[in-house]
Every structure is written in C-alpha cells, then in structure tokens.
Amino acid sequence: MHKAYFSELTDYLIWADGNIVEWLHQIDDTQWEQTITSSFPSIKQTALHIVSAERIWLDYWTKTPDPVFLSAQFTGTKSDLIAIWMQISAGLKSFVDAYAEKDYLQPVTFKWPGGGESTMAFWQTFSHFINHATYHRGQLVTMLRQAGFTKLSSTDLAGYYRLI
C-alpha cells in the first residue's frame, strides 16, 4: 500500500465523477427524473446515492460526529447536488493528500445504511469506496443512454491511465 497509489485512485475518481457531472449538466429535468430500472429508479436517485456514499465515507474517515447519509434528507436541485459533489471531491483530495500512509491499516468504524455497525481497515474501506463509485457510475452511463443521452465516453480506470 503506497500513498502514490491511493492518490492516483483519488485523482481517477475525481476525473470520472467530473465526466459524469459534465453529462448531468447536459440532460434536462425529464431525463434527470425519468424512471429507469436499475439499482435506483432514476438518474437522479443513482447520482444521489453516489454522492451520499462519497460524503458519508469521507465523514467516517474524518471522524465527523453524527455523519448523515445525504440521500435520507436531500431535497435540492440537480445543480445543488452537483455543487455538493464538487465539494466532496475537493475534500477527498485534501484528505487523501494529508492522510498518513502509516494509518492505512487503522480501523474505520461505520454504519451500514440498512443498519448495523462494522469496522474495517482504512485501506479496505477506501478500496470499497472506489469500487462502489465505479459500479454506480457504470449504471449511470447505461441509464443516460436509456434516457437518450449519447455524448458519453469511457470512465474506466484504463481510460484514465491512457490520459495521464
């Protein structure tokens, strides 16, 4: 486990999320709200889930008192959600840059959305964090296509590595 690798994965996540955000800016409210069968019933709900997960993991890692899963309380607009997403990306980059490599084995305690508490090493939660976001971004790509948006490009890790 090397800090440079975690920093690269953070940069990848921010790049991939940035691509999604650009696409979300280009869709209309009908596409944003359209019912599409997937893990979540719309592009809006899927994006909200990604942002919620990214926010709560950052809260767990920074030991924020009483972290809140954003999707349980969010009532804002698409623009509001995108603004929150960009704040989280900036916070994530700052956190990872400052997080000591010696702490990668430190336990992180968290609550599952469905209830219950668990503890895993930071590096395990970070790996999950990256994988989770990738999984749901893939769903967003499929949902965007189904909603008629076709100006898509790759958001996979190999595509990112080709660019850097």
Three-state SS at 129? helix
Q: Where are the alpha helices (DSSP H) in 27-67?
A: 29-33, 43-61
Tell me: is residue 25 an annotated ligand-binding position. Answer: no
> Cα separation of 45 and 129, whole Å?
18
> Cα separation of 111 and 80, whole Å?
25
> Cα separation of 49 and 100, whole Å?
28
> Cα separation of 38 and 40, whole Å?
5
What are the beta bridge partners of residue 117? 111
> Cα separation of 52 and 34, whole Å?
20
> Cα separation of 67 and 58, whole Å?
9
Q: Give the DSSP H/E element, type plus range, for residue 90.
A: helix 78-98
Instruction: Output the known binding site.
Output: 49, 132, 136
Instruction: Output the known binding site for a divalent metal cation.
Output: 49, 132, 136
